[in-house]
Amino acid sequence: MVGCCGATSPSKLRMDGEGEAAKTPTTPDEKKKQDDDKKGVTFDKDVVYRDSAAPPLQAGMSSPDRGRYSQTRPKAIPQFETGPAPRPADEVLNNDETAIIVVDFQHDFMEGGNLAVSGADYGKYKDDVVAFVEKCRGKGRVIVWSQDWHPEDHQSFAKNHDGGVPFTQKKLSRPKESGEIIDTDQTLWPVHCVQGSKGAEFVTEVREGEFVQQKGTMPPWDSYSAFMDDGGHPTGLADHLKNKGIKATVCFGLALDFCVYFTAKDSCQSGFSTYWIPELCRGIDPEFENSKYDTAGCYTITLPEANKALE
């Protein structure tokens, strides 16, 4: 049974009231109050969470990456926990506190799709991803699938702007929760992953009990990260994982330089020890440097290491 919910509790980094950063609790009483504030928000393992009901605007944890297809995201306040030192692949993947995050493994990003990523073929690439996910299932790992899930009037679509050209930048004026209008950069894309379309469907089956995190559901805001959109609205994924006792994530999927990167980056900055598997990713920008994952605080596990660990 798949349902949806529309509530989310605040993330660790938040802009409160007059723009002051939410304080990290320093006393037992403050921590108890913060924990109490989070109560009442429960996540069922079969629920598909949709961020259609916009929670208060919060400070995005991923600062802008000024590259070929940059986005403007709210600046991060440098107050986050870093993950522990990297562990061997077998310790990471054979651990009940590790979740697997498969990013945007959808038809529109595969060969022949509306926003096809180079090398995302239905042959070896698909087979490698499906085989690895199956191995993780066999070990009882928590599986999360992120899903681009855009309404037809989404503002990232070039067709929704007069003279809009895919793969170019446009300055958009968008409202904050307070009503203040802010100017932000937006990359314009071809129409892709429209809600209910074939292109938005997953390439392989999602089994009962696996969590689907939909993103990009609000027309004004794009959402590369599965943890929060580009307007700083958290999706609820971080709280869901923490409620399940997850302390580490392993990320891969499409595309390496966009949704996988921002998901991994926000995973790390949400307090999870974060790993990624390069061979299970494909990218858009040939100039993207994989070292950005290192800079973001993420750790690399190669596919041979991962497969051996799951034998």
pLDDT digits (tens, 9 = 90+) for 275-309: 999 999 999 998 999 999 999 999 999 999 999 99
**CA nearest neighbour of 274 among 294, 257, 255:** 294
Asked if residue 20 belongs to a domain, the reply is: no
Where is pLDDT greater, at 59 or 25? 25
Asked if residue 305 belongs to a domain, the reply is: yes
- The per-residue pLDDT for 175 is 74
| Cα 64 to Cα 229: distance, rounded to the nearest angstrom | 12
Q: What SS3 state is found at 37?
A: helix
Asked if residue 117 belongs to a domain, the reply is: yes
Asked if residue 276 belongs to a domain, the reply is: yes
Where is pLDDT greater, at 127 or 233? 127
Q: Which domain CATH number covers 114?
A: 3.40.50.850
Rounded to whole angstroms, what are the CA distances from 184 to 21, 131, 158, 170, 172? Answer: 21, 40, 16, 8, 5
Among 33-42, 86-95, 116-125, the minimum mean pLDDT is found in: 33-42
Predicted confidence (pLDDT) per residue in 147-181, tens digit:
999 999 999 999 999 999 999 999 998 876 567 78
Number of domains in the chain: 1
Predicted confidence (pLDDT) per residue in 223-232, tens digit:
999 999 988 8
Predicted confidence (pLDDT) per residue in 66-102, tens digit:
333 334 443 332 333 444 457 899 999 999 999 999 9
Percent of the chain with pLDDT strictly greater than 70? 72
Asked if residue 15 belongs to a domain, the reply is: no
Residue 136 pLDDT greater than 70, yes or no = yes
Asked if residue 212 belongs to a domain, the reply is: yes
Q: Are 213 and 235 in contact (CB under 8 A)?
A: yes
| Cα 195 to Cα 219: distance, rounded to the nearest angstrom | 12
Pairing between β-strand 20-21 and β-strand 15-16 as defined by DSSP bridges: antiparallel
| Cα 238 to Cα 242: distance, rounded to the nearest angstrom | 6
Asked if residue 23 belongs to a domain, the reply is: no
Number of helices (H) and strands (E) in the chain: give both, helices first. Answer: 7, 11
Asked if residue 4 belongs to a domain, the reply is: no
Predicted confidence (pLDDT) per residue in 174-223, tens digit:
876 567 788 989 999 999 999 999 999 999 999 999 999 999 999 999 99
Task: Give the CA diameter of the chain.
Answer: 56
Catalytic residues: 104, 215, 259
Which residues neighbour 25 within 8 Å (Cβ) at sequence distance 6 or greater? 31, 33, 34
DSSP sequence for 83-115:
PPPP--HHHHHT-TTEEEEEE--BGGGSTTSTT
Q: What SS3 state is found at 248?
A: strand
- The per-residue pLDDT for 19 is 31
**Hey, what are 158's tokens?**
């070039």
What mean pLDDT do residues 9-33 have? 38
Q: Which domain holds residue 160?
A: 47-309
Beta-carbon neighbour count of residue 173 at 10 Å?
Answer: 9
What mean pLDDT do residues 52-56 have? 32
| Cα 133 to Cα 214: distance, rounded to the nearest angstrom | 19
- The per-residue pLDDT for 23 is 44
- The per-residue pLDDT for 86 is 73
- The per-residue pLDDT for 231 is 82
Q: Report the predicted TM-score, pTM, of the whole model to 2 decimal places.
A: 0.75
**CA nearest neighbour of 11 among 19, 22, 2:** 22
Among 11-15, 20-24, 65-69, 148-152, the minimum mean pLDDT is found in: 11-15
- The per-residue pLDDT for 177 is 59
**CA nearest neighbour of 264 among 236, 234, 309, 295:** 295
